[in-house]
Structure formats: structure tokens, C-alpha cells
Amino acid sequence: MEPASLQNKGQQGFPRVSVSQVSPSTADVDSPASVFSAFFRADQFERHQLWLGVPDSPASGIHANLNTSKLFNIGPKDSLCVTEDSEVECSSNTSYTKAFRIGFETEGQCKAFHATFELLKLKRAGTGSGVFQNRSKSNAILKCKFDDKIEASSAKMYFHYYGQLPHQQNMLQDYTRTGTYFAAVIENYADFNGRIVVDVGAGSGILSLFAAKAGAKHVYAIEASEMAEYACRLIAGNPSLGKRITVIKGKVEEVELPEKADILISEPMGTLLVNERMLESYVIARDRFLVPDGKMFPSIGRIHMAPFSDEYLYIEIASKALFWQQHNYFAVDLTPLHGSAFEGYFSQPVIDAFDPRILISPAIFHTLDFTRIKEEELYEIDIPLNFIASVGARVHGLACWFDVLFNGSSVQRWLTTAPGAPTTHWYQLRCVFSQPLYVMAGQEITGLLNLVAHSAQSYTINLTMSAKMLGPGAVQGGILHTSSCKLNLKDPYYLISQPQPYRWTQDQQLQQEVNNLQEISLVTPEEIDACITTD
Ligand SMILES: C[S@@+](CC[C@H](N)C(=O)[O-])C[C@H]1O[C@@H](n2cnc3c(N)ncnc32)[C@H](O)[C@@H]1O
């Protein structure tokens, strides 16, 4: 059990440091060095403490209150921390009663430790979440952009979700996803070897470990949820890679880094690419941490769209509202609510893996260039639609999926969530009309997909599609029939139990990934191992 005064209100960790107690007056070493983990933590009064010890016994070890401690650089990888046993604020005449030398495995870790130490010393209680004073900027109050845009209740649930191992496991077990990231990083080790990397939203730290495996000089793994602590433990358990990784707990919008990154790696994609609004954090991280012309993995994302016809899906959704057509439900007429229930079911986007043969025209796509797009441009996205129907059909709505590109210097690799490709945990998404549209083969379908971000970390989807007139009317731009719908991307309907003609087992997917990797990999396993720095 943790001491009561050290509740988990925020931790930042450095998994492997060597610590020796020294005399505060002479700086002579008093004790042999121990290999400890170092954590910064806040108590319930937002007073930050540095704790050095063994993760499994948090009550033991060395505790230093940052208010009464000072940190000095005594070498590129060595620091001296002097601290007072009492709670009294440091002043010029403080006599320090404890001192210890902290040795880091890399200079990057040492710099990150100092940056975190100084930043947390500046944080003050009572200014509200995400608001802190930064003395280095003339006491200006820096407000965290994330907290301005996102409802506190949504953020709390969101980071609570990602703070749990089963949800990280779910992503790790999507072998198409994780395997594609692994392949993209290792095949492009030249982009990582000897570079400073920032992992934006590191979760379990898996992408940081991949980057370190590809030879990164140092990786800063930024993670806002409690998963940061697990990431520390995973990284500490992989010491040959972990010594080049620093986990920083906090939002990318508010943490400080000791140096700029040559390359960002992240997995910020949600359903329909944009759900969760994490792309905005990715773009903010680019503007805050990336050197000019630095690389981003992934660098672009594309939303693909095509009209579909699926009578079974339509009937399934419509029939859910049939309950409300009863005139005599325990002697009560439910029919006045049938219309609302019917519209309600059609306001949920449907998520499943469908057979691509339901698409009635070739797909179009809309590109988001993560290297250039402004954060504000993600608040509202307008995508004009234009299709030519390949067959005559009843169009039940718009089917969407996405892909992202790892534009490596050696290999370009796409991670796709397309129908017919190996299924990912994102599946595909369909917006279904309550009033379908009738089209003939060759008929033009126009429309607009409008996505408006909301403060619950998702989007409102406004979709309109029109069948244009055939013959002379088409030339004049005449519209025969229009259907529209408004959906909440935050509230999807998961329909993933239906038979999947193209679904593979995960083992097959994994095997396929391995085969792909072996077939197209430009580097041999020996070359991969050779590229790993062993400092
Ligand atoms: C989709 S998960 C990816 C996790 C990990 N990178 C992986 O690929 O397995 C996104 C992670 O980013 C974190 N995250 C989201 N927004 C963040 C932000 N603004 N600052 C820091 N972390 C954030 C979440 O808590 C979550 O763990």
C-alpha cells in the first residue's frame, strides 16, 4: 500500500537510475550505489515529491519534497539532489540534511529528469486542472488547450479507459495495427537510428520500444493516463531498450521536453480516423516538439467513402423501433414514440466489417496531411461527395474507412482499415439513411459529409446525398431525390457479430503480416540487429 499522503495524483517515472547517498557538506559518497526507479508524484495537496526506490515497495526508499530540494548537474549523466527533511520551503539560508547522487544511463534521461524536476517545482496547488504557472515565462498563466476544448467528464472517462491494461491489450492484439507499426519502424530504421523521438500518447510504451529497437538515441514517451506507470514498468523490464526511453506523464498539450524531436510516432486514429480528437493532440505535439521538417509516423491519413446498398442492415435497424408500434402494451399505446425511436436508431453510425461487394460505386478519399494541417482545421471538416453508381440500387447510406501512411525514407507502408483487407479493431463505419435513395446505373450521386467536432472528444456527422437527374436534367444540375442524416460518432452501434465473409482469424492475420514483412522487408534480421545502438 502507498502511504496515504502519496496518492496517485500524477507520476512521472525514470525506470533505472543509480542512487548513492552522499554527505551534504563534503559530497563524499556515504553508501554504495543502488539501482532504483525514480518517480515524481503529487500528494493530495499537489505538493510534488521525488521518490527513489524499488517499484514493488513504494513505502521504502528515499522521499524528497520538491519544495525543500534543489538539483544540480554534476556531469552530463549525473545529478546531485540536496534536500531538507522538514516541509519548510527552500530559502537561501536553508541547511540541507540529505544529499544523494543520481546517475542516469543517458544524457537525454538526465535532461528530462532536470526538466521535470524544475517544471513540477513551479506547479502550484489551487489553480485548477491543467493550469499552472510557468515562472520562466514571466509568471504567465499557461492554459492547457486540451482542457479548454474538452469537457472534464469526457476527458476523465477517456483517460480512465486508456489507463486500464485490457484496453491497451485490445490494441496490442490487433496484429494488423501493431504489426504494421512494427514493420514501418524497423524497415525505416534509418529514420530512427540516432534520432530523438517523441511517442505521442504512448499508452503501454509499445511504439517507444519499437523506436528504441530501431536505434533511437532517445525516446520521450508522453502519456496522460495512469498507463504511464505501466509503461514505466514495461520499459524497465526491457532494459537494453528502456535505457533510451523516458516516460513523461501528462498531456502533450502541457508537458515540457528538454529537447526537440527529429521524429514523432503516434497512434492517434479513432473510428473514422477522427474520433477521440487525438489528431489535434498529434498536431499540437508537432508544433511544440518537432524540429522544422521533422518526420511524422504516420504522416497522412485518408478517409475513404463509397455509397452502399444493404437491405439486411436497413431492416435490422428499422425493426429495432418496431417495439414502439404496439398499440396495446399493458393497455398503453406506444405508437406516439415510434417516430422518435426510429430516428434515434438511425442516428447511430454502424460499426462492423462488411463485404466490399455492397459498395455501389468506386470509393473516393479525403486526405488529412498531419505534417501541414492546422489544429483548428480539424474542428470542422467538409468533404464534398461525388460518385457514379455502377449498378441500379437502393442506396442505404455511406460506407467509410481510413488508412494512414508511414512515409519512411526506405519504405512507404500503409495501414489500412478497408473492407476486404484484414480486419482491424477499427472495423469500418456506415452512416445509414432512414429514407434510402434510389439510383440507376450510371447515375451521378453528389453530396456532403460534414464533420463537426464536439467537446465530448468526438464529432457530429451531417451527411447529405442526392441522386442527380438523368438525361437533359443532369446537365442543368437537377436533383431527383435527396436523403440526409445526422449522427453522433461518439455513440455508434456495434454490429460485429454478423458473419464476415472476408474475416480472417488473428493467427492468419499475424502469419500474413510476418510473411509480408519477410517478403518486402529491405533489411535482414541481422541488419536490424546491427542498427540497434548498444551504448
Ligand atoms: C490509441 S492509444 C495508443 C497507445 C499506444 N501508442 C499504442 O500504439 O499502443 C492512444 C493513447 O494516447 C493517450 N493520449 C490521448 N490523448 C493524449 C494527450 N492529449 N496527451 C497524452 N496522452 C494522450 C491515451 O491515453 C492513450 O493511451
Question: Tens-of-pLDDT digits for all 535 residues of the chain?
Answer: 332 222 333 456 777 888 988 876 666 777 788 888 887 777 655 667 888 888 767 667 788 887 788 888 888 888 888 887 643 333 334 456 788 889 988 887 888 888 777 767 655 432 222 222 222 333 334 458 899 999 999 999 999 999 999 999 999 999 999 999 999 999 999 999 999 999 999 999 999 999 999 999 999 999 999 999 999 999 999 999 999 999 999 999 999 999 999 999 999 999 999 999 999 999 999 999 999 999 999 999 999 999 999 999 999 999 999 999 999 999 999 999 999 999 999 999 999 999 999 999 999 999 999 999 999 999 999 999 999 999 999 999 999 999 999 999 999 999 999 999 999 999 999 999 999 999 999 999 999 999 999 999 999 999 999 999 777 666 666 778 999 999 999 999 999 764 444 444 444 554 554 454 444 333 344 544 543 433 3
Q: Ligand 1 mean position to 478 CA, how many Å?
A: 47
Q: Ligand 1 mean position to 231 CA, how many Å?
A: 12
Query: How confident is the model at residue 509, as a pLDDT?
Result: 53
* Dihedrals phi, psi of 451, to nearest 5 degrees: -115, 120
Closest approach atom of ligand 1 to CA 199:
6
Q: DSSP per residue over 147-190, as a string?
A: HHHS-HHHHHHHHHHHTSHHHHHHHHT-HHHHHHHHHHHHHTHH
Find out whether 138 and 132 touch, Cβ atoms under 8 Å.
no
* Dihedrals phi, psi of 221, to nearest 5 degrees: -100, 105
Query: How confident is the model at residue 44, as a pLDDT?
Result: 52
- And the C-alpha cell for 144? 492547457
Identify the H or E element spanning 117: helix 107-122
- 3-class SS of residue 18: strand
Closest approach atom of ligand 1 to CA 253:
19
Q: Atom 15, ligand 1: which residue's CA is nearest?
A: 201
Q: What ranges in 173-275 are assigned the alpha helix state H?
A: 175-187, 189-192, 206-213, 227-236, 239-242
Cα torsion 40, 221, 100, 133: sign = negative
Q: Atom 8, ligand 1: which residue's CA is nearest?
A: 267
Q: Ligand 1 mean position to 202 CA, how many Å?
A: 5
Which residue in the block uniquely carries the three cell numbers 508522453?
Answer: 222
Instruction: Report the DSSP beta bridge partners of residue 465.
Output: 447, 483
Q: Atom 18, ligand 1: which residue's CA is nearest?
A: 251
Residues in the chain: 535
Q: Which residues contact 509 (CB under 8 A, 6 or more apart)?
A: 175, 176, 179, 422, 423
Q: From CA 60, how far away is CA 50, in angstroms rounded?
A: 13
- And the C-alpha cell for 163? 489507463
- Minimal CA–CA distance to 66: which of 45, 44, 82? 82
Cα torsion 80, 97, 36, 27: sign = positive
Q: Ligand 1 mean position to 252 CA, how many Å?
A: 10
Q: What was the ipTM of the complex prediction?
A: 1.00
Q: From CA 260, how far away is CA 280, in angstroms rounded?
A: 19
- Burial readout 378-394 (b: 16 or more C-beta within 10 A, e: otherwise): beebebebebebeeebe
Which residue in the block uniquely carries the three cell numbers 489553480?
Answer: 127
Find out whether 362 and 390 touch, Cβ atoms under 8 Å.
yes
Q: Ligand 1 mean position to 200 CA, how many Å?
A: 7
322: DSSP letter = G
Closest approach atom of ligand 1 to CA 201:
12
- And the C-alpha cell for 282? 498529434
Q: Ligand 1 mean position to 223 CA, how many Å?
A: 6
- Minimal CA–CA distance to 38: which of 95, 96, 7, 81? 81
Q: What is the pTM of this model?
A: 0.75
Site residues for ligand 1, CB cut-off 6 Å: 146, 159, 162, 171, 201-204, 206-207, 222-225, 227, 251-253, 267, 278, 281
Closest approach atom of ligand 1 to CA 269:
1
